[in-house]
Structure 1
Amino acid sequence: MRPPKLLPSFLALCLGILFPFAMQAQNSRVVRVAAAADLQPVMLIFAQEFEKETGIKLVVSLGSSGTLATQIVNGAPFDVFLGADFTFPEKVVAAGKAEAAPVAYAKGTLVLWARKDLGIAPLHVELLTDPRIKTVAIANAEHAPYGRAAVAALEKLKIYDAVKPKLVVAENVAQTGQFVESGNAQVGLISLTLASSEHYRQVGQFVLMPFVYPEIRQCAVVVKGSDHAADAKLFLDWVLSDKVQGRLKDFGISPVK
């Protein structure tokens, strides 16, 4: 069985993506956030609202949880790490680079997503083994939690061997969606956060994957030795507040409370 294909396109999305709105500003109160790629649409809103409420700007870098964790362990100057699972924040803790143990801030959901012009509606999981579907995008399971969830789901559904030759492997879940949107893959297994964002709803359609994969419990840590530790903790407390937790479902993730 040949291994999954790894496309070189969209490499700009592989490692941390710096939002235009989060350029280093004159304001001295800045929190540098390393955020899992599934949070791309969420962080756009969080950054705007948090700054409005506190005056503190968020500088947000997006990437796969594994890549971001490795960067933090190697000394990258982040203040907060919002991972897409428990494993990679725990890696930061084990390396002595976190102020405390990981704290869960949300629970994620895996979906099957395709462009509306795929010509197949409604979507259904059986499409993954349909001969009309030649390419299926997933995130790299080695360092992307949603990629791990995708592989686990395919294995649990006993269709991994059938789907494996079709796999197109992206570096993170945001790039997975980009592969499908650009036509490099026909369908993809991505996060509900991406699929339910305004842009993805306009151009695509999705269906929830059966909940046969391990819980995607997204956890965060404050990075040890941060120059902005107080503001970093303030941001994490804000994310965990009843006000924000009560709105998470609007963004495609579930609250932990």
Structure 2
Amino acid sequence: MSKIPYYHIFIILSIGIIFTSSCQSNKKNSESLSIATSANAQFAIKEIANVFQDSTGNDVEIIVSSSGKLASQIMEGAPYDIFISADMVYPTTLYSNGLSSQVPKAYAKGKLALWSKEQVEMPLSVTIFHKENTKIALANPETAPYGIAAVETLKKLKLYKNNKPKFVFGESISQVNQFIKSESVDFAFTSSSVANLPQFSDRGYWQIINDSLHMPILQGILLINGEKENQANAFIEFLNGETAAEILKKHGYDKP
């Protein structure tokens, strides 16, 4: 009887270990609660998800992008269990299209902030962006609610039309925050929650934009129809509890 060479046995065992590990990893991913969250809320939601995991034992996977992009992915069948948006429009649209059996609810009220390299006086004046080479970053208003709020603010202050050539659009708040981190722009409109983070708080200057300058930023949560509705409902209930409320408050969000 011929014997299998030792190195062949080693290869077979290695393949078996890799296959088993891969199956276990795929099983874990399939069992994880998949939460698609708007970029502005990612830091707060990740912290809340960690506490939720520790207290329930349920694994959570976080996917981050702009609200509009995530909504489009869900419309196309992306396997997300929960959608956390920076507004109520996208969740309501998904609900109206039959992708959820539950009416979306607001879980927090966001605040718009202006970051600047140099200190500026508030309220904003018509001369704030007067320098010719000034770069002003804001999230794409086509897909990001905080971008919409920034445009509304600029228009109300009559700073929009004359400064359009100076705008630098980020795909989401995440990209706007990268502009801040690299200081590649002079001004940036983003979520006030970013101002509290260590990697951003010591860069430049921060001003909270008055709520009267834009529509309220009510941020919504929606359960997506699927096989993990019990887990998803448990997370939504947790998000509406006192522990999550304290975390949201720490990150600069108000109750809706």
Report what 1:236 is aligned to. Answer: 236
| Residue 145 of structure 2 corresponds to residue 145 of structure 1 | yes
Report what 1:157 is aligned to. Answer: 157
- Within 5 A, what are the aligned runs for 1:207-226? 207-211=207-211, 212-224=213-225, 226=226
Q: Which amino acid aligns with 1:248?
A: L
- Within 5 A, what are the aligned runs for 1:1-257? 26=28, 29-114=31-116, 118=117, 120-121=118-119, 124=122, 125-126=124-125, 128-131=128-131, 134-211=134-211, 212-224=213-225, 226-256=226-256
Cα deviation, 1:105-154, whole Å, max 9, x if unaligned, reads 0000000013xxx3x22564347423176100000001100000000011
Cα deviation, 1:147-192, whole Å, max 9, x if unaligned, reads 0000001111111112212100111111111122223322100001
Distance 1:128 1:167, change over 3 A: farther
Residue 120 of structure 2 contacts residue 128 of structure 2 at CA under 8 Å; is this kept in 1? no
What is the distance in 1 between the residues matched to 2:105 and 2:216?
15
What is the distance in 2 between the residues matched to 1:53 and 1:27?
19
Residue 80 of structure 1 contacts residue 221 of structure 1 at CA under 8 Å; is this kept in 2? yes
Bigger drift between 135-144 and 96-105 goes to: 96-105
Residue 35 of structure 2 contacts residue 60 of structure 2 at CA under 8 Å; is this kept in 1? yes
Give unpaired runs (5+ residues) of structure 1: 1-22
Q: What's the % identity of the aligned pairs?
A: 30
Pick the structure with greater CA Rg: 2
What is the distance in 1 between the residues matched to 2:26 and 2:53?
14
Cα deviation, 1:8-53, whole Å, max 9, x if unaligned, reads xxxxxxxxxxxxxxx8774875210000000121123112111111
SS at match of 1:203: coil
Residue 139 of structure 2 contacts residue 169 of structure 2 at CA under 8 Å; is this kept in 1? yes
Give unpaired runs (5+ residues) of structure 2: 1-24
What is the distance in 2 between the residues matched to 1:25 and 1:252?
36
Residue 40 of structure 1 contacts residue 194 of structure 1 at CA under 8 Å; is this kept in 2? no
Distance 1:123 1:175, change over 3 A: farther
What is the distance in 2 between the residues matched to 1:240 and 1:196?
22
Report what 1:7 is aligned to. Answer: none
What is the distance in 2 between the residues matched to 1:25 and 1:42?
27
Q: Which amino acid aligns with 1:107?
A: K
Return the TM-score normalized by structure 2. Answer: 0.83
Residue 29 of structure 1 contacts residue 55 of structure 1 at CA under 8 Å; is this kept in 2? no
Residue 104 of structure 1 contacts residue 219 of structure 1 at CA under 8 Å; is this kept in 2? yes
SS at match of 1:234: helix
Q: Aligned pair count?
A: 229
Q: Which amino acid aligns with 2:142?
A: E
Return the TM-score normalized by structure 1. Answer: 0.83
Distance 1:205 1:58, change over 3 A: farther
What is the distance in 1 between the residues matched to 2:121 and 2:70?
33
Cα deviation, 1:81-125, whole Å, max 9, x if unaligned, reads 0000010111111221112111010000000013xxx3x225643
Task: Name whichever structure is richer in helix by fraction.
Answer: 2
Q: Which amino acid aligns with 1:73?
A: M
In the TM superposition, what is the alpha-carbon distance from 1:254 to its structure 2 partner?
Answer: 0.8
SS at match of 1:129: coil
In the TM superposition, what is the alpha-carbon distance from 1:242 to its structure 2 partner?
Answer: 2.8
Q: Which amino acid aligns with 1:121?
A: Q
